[in-house]
Structure 1
């Protein structure tokens, strides 16, 4: 019988997380009956002691806000992908006891877009300027051949996004949030803002828009996504991102590939429908 292993998602707040649903579905499909995946409410202050207290049965951790940056000093190695945005959402414990941090959000975004037929774009727009926006810029650095316009609420946020652009090799231009409807002319729009932020923009979606990637998954669909689809545009949703980044986490933590994408998505859809 396979050795019992543990994994979990950490964050604060964490009760809403779908990660246990997705990872447990993967374990069932992969025949890992002795593996478990839990969730723990852990803030930045409690993180060092929590990580130090983990035993040899632990295979890995998923990290959500506010821990993606706080975990970095606790690690032995950080991948180039994670270092590029100073954010770790995945920690794998190696056989020799090392802690390796990675970021599966960025390749997860690319995989989610590729699944919807978005391989390359000549330009793009990003709504918002938080941690997810920097990951979006990292993903765009690999698929966007031209400028990216970020729509933000303050001069400070504009400077941050231009700084990320310089670091990631993306031609980032910034515009005030009041002009956000101008984003919809781009062939790809990535909305990275909290729930409700883009609702007022739904009425401004033009006919025959390009692709919208709205990173929210609850509530879903958002008013913006609904308007986008009604006008004939393609939509990538937050559950797509969540599932694709979780697939990569499962593969890294278990060493088994491919992770069962379809079963994980179905489990996520069922869980959201029941809420």
Structure 2
């Protein structure tokens, strides 16, 4: 019996997860199959409950991350702290699914590998991925995080997640307080099309942008950043790093146990996303 895995979401046709997971499994010699399945939040619980024992686990993308958190039998510490699950692994006893959040580790690793400075971070957006962005910046030692979004209540709730080492505040996307030129990093978790209409002052485009979007790439926001002479980093870097942690989980159940040859796995995954990074 061949183990089955899939990425679940709606929409899902754009996802690069099948390409990068298949590249990883091939490199590791794992005879697993990985597919993409369109699934809405209202059908997630029934879908995963109906899967047979051959189903090892799932990557979970929007808009399912909060619902995946709700249905998981047990949660890893990051999923528990964030209220977000992007990975479901069948429990060893076969009774349900354990939930994990690999977005935080993936984003933190990608930011660090790019040599970006998270000391004074602005997070654009207030959804599930924005929660992980805040936790990633905190993990990297950010001294200040400003959360900016259209939903003021959601921004305030996210800003309330501050710890003793991080000054947190909530803002509107057009707030003058974001234009003081002091930020060192901007993480956008906004849907790609939202970048077209966003009011972006010149002072912000001088700050490096990490945009979790990758389809299309460059995203509308990244295009505006680059047109102004700024630097924009694609979300494929985060996608790869969080997927490496997912493969660890699917393999051993432990997000901290490295794979046999992660360097080769990372290289294979990058090769699988090369055309997306170039806008292909």
In 2, are the aligned partners of 1:206 and 1:231 still within 8 Å (CA)? no
Matched, 1:176 2:172: yes
SS of the aligned residue for 2:240 comes to helix
Specify the alignment match of 1:267 in structure 2.
272
Of residues 157, 162, 176, the one that matches 1:160 is 157
Q: Distance in 2 between matches of 1:177 and 1:202?
A: 7
Q: Distance in 2 between matches of 1:203 and 1:42?
A: 34
Question: What does the per-residue CA deviation read over 1:216-258, in whole Å, with 9 as the maximum and x for residues that have no partner?
Answer: 1012113442454566654321111111111111121124444
- What TM-score, normalized to structure 2? 0.85
In 1, are the aligned partners of 2:181 and 2:204 still within 8 Å (CA)? no
Of residues 59, 64, 67, the one that matches 1:62 is 59
Q: Distance in 1 between matches of 2:8 and 2:204?
A: 41
In 1, are the aligned partners of 2:126 and 2:151 still within 8 Å (CA)? no
Specify the alignment match of 2:73 in structure 1.
76
Specify the alignment match of 2:111 in structure 1.
113
Distance apart, 1:23 and its partner CA: 0.7
In 2, are the aligned partners of 1:79 and 1:101 still within 8 Å (CA)? yes
Question: What does the per-residue CA deviation read over 1:179-204, in whole Å, with 9 as the maximum and x for residues that have no partner?
Answer: 37617641111111111323356873
Tell me, which stretches of 5 or more residues in structure 2 are unaligned? 253-258
Question: What does the per-residue CA deviation read over 1:64-115, in whole Å, with 9 as the maximum and x for residues that have no partner?
Answer: 1222111234322101101111110001124332522100111000011111
SS of the aligned residue for 2:162 comes to helix
Q: Distance in 2 between matches of 1:91 and 1:84?
A: 16
Q: Distance in 1 between matches of 2:71 and 2:205?
A: 48
Matched, 1:248 2:245: yes
SS of the aligned residue for 2:53 comes to coil
Equivalent pairs, count: 270
Structure 1 segments of 4+ aligned residues over 3 angstroms from their partners: 199-208, 226-235, 255-259, 270-275
Of residues 18, 22, 38, the one that matches 2:20 is 22
Matched, 1:97 2:94: yes
Change (3 A) 1:144 1:201: farther
Matched, 1:5 2:10: no
Change (3 A) 1:257 1:233: farther
Of residues 122, 126, 134, the one that matches 1:125 is 122
Change (3 A) 1:115 1:272: closer
Change (3 A) 1:209 1:83: same
Higher mean alpha-carbon deviation, 104-113 vs 258-267, is at: 258-267
Change (3 A) 1:7 1:113: same
In 1, are the aligned partners of 2:124 and 2:148 still within 8 Å (CA)? yes
Distance apart, 1:124 and its partner CA: 1.1
In 2, are the aligned partners of 1:124 and 1:144 still within 8 Å (CA)? no
Tell me, which stretches of 5 or more residues in structure 1 are unaligned? none
- What TM-score, normalized to structure 1? 0.86
Question: What does the per-residue CA deviation read over 1:91-149, in whole Å, with 9 as the maximum and x for residues that have no partner?
Answer: 1124332522100111000011111013x532111112222111111111112341211
